[in-house]
Amino acid sequence: MSELKEISSNKIFNGYQKVFSHQSKELSCEMNFAIFLPADSAEKKLPVLYYLSGLTCNELNCVQKSGFQRYAAEKGLIVVCPDTSPRNIEGLDTKDFSWDFGYGAAFYVDSTTDAYKKNFRMYSYITSELIDVINSNFNVIPNKQSIFGHSMGGHGALIAALKTGLYKSVSAFAPISNPINCPWGEKCFTGYLGDNRESWKEYDATELVAKYNGPPLELFIDQGSEDQFLKENQLLPNNLIEAAKKAQVPFIYKLRDGYDHSYFFIATFIGEHIDYHAKHLL
């Protein structure tokens, strides 16, 4: 297990918001993650809630903008926020990188294309290596974990829950729900997974829920009605909801009137999401 290096530590709501770095074996680079540790985390083991951020983000966006710490402190939940991609890969050809592909945009898949398969393995990082790092270094209850996220991170949370059965609950703010059928997904999946669209389905929540046969799982989807990316058909939540209905997978879908894609939307409702996960974890 790689050694952790503490980058920062700030007291908040009697707990600590910290950032650590470590050398990732899956991604072959140094990675950062943020972790909120409630006041009693040193004395007793606590459940863990993982949060995955969206395009252009890193480990600090949720930490600095959502206000989740107040609610996590009240419920006694450790919250882990990883970065959204590998970073600063020496020798990597980045000529095709942009705000929606490459650094900050790894889409939580394990790449199979020659250019990216060594480093862009965020699915395995999130669902295996990071969990091992957290379980080995912090006072957590093994196998008591849930996951949520926003946009690209909502996609990541949904596929992680649907593919692994590792999480007690899952929720998503404005997730990219059917990436094989939206411009963001088509761009990233072509780059990371190649041209075989059948292989893309293994990282698409709409496709995965249609054949889900894992432990009982409910999908909690939160969506703003004035989200610009909803209107541009990047998110496609209705495709996911229809697939869940047909597969008889239970879901909660809340369309929030007037809210957009920003962290103002997330900050408004993140307390409700923390409470939802706490009911499954505590």
Amino acid at 238: N
Domain spans of the chain, in order of start: 14-281
Q: Encode pLDDT of 128-178 as tens digits.
A: 999 999 999 999 998 999 999 999 999 999 999 999 999 999 999 999 999
Catalytic residues: 151, 227, 261
Residues in the chain: 282
Q: How many CB atoms lie within 10 A of CB 266?
A: 25
- Report the pLDDT value the prediction gives residue 113, as an integer from 0 to 100: 97
The pLDDT score that the predictor gives to residue 212 is: 97
Per-residue confidence (pLDDT) for residue 1, from 0 to 100 = 57
Residues 69-121 have pLDDT tens digits of 999 999 999 999 999 999 999 999 999 999 999 999 999 999 999 999 999 99
- Cα–Cα distance measured from residue 123 to residue 156, given in angstroms and rounded to the nearest whole number: 8
Phi, psi of 23 (to 5 degrees): -85, 115
Closest to 62 in 3D by CA, of 41, 35, 44 = 35
Which of the following CATH numbers is that of domain 14-281: 3.30.565.10, 3.40.50.1820, 3.40.1210.10, 3.40.140.10? Answer: 3.40.50.1820
Residues 32, 8: Cα–Cα separation, whole Å = 11
Residue 203 has pLDDT above 60, yes or no: yes
Check: CB of residue 227 under 8 Å from CB of residue 206: no
Residue 85's nearest CA partner among 49, 58, 65 is 58
Q: What is the pLDDT of residue 157?
A: 99
pTM to 2 decimals? 0.97
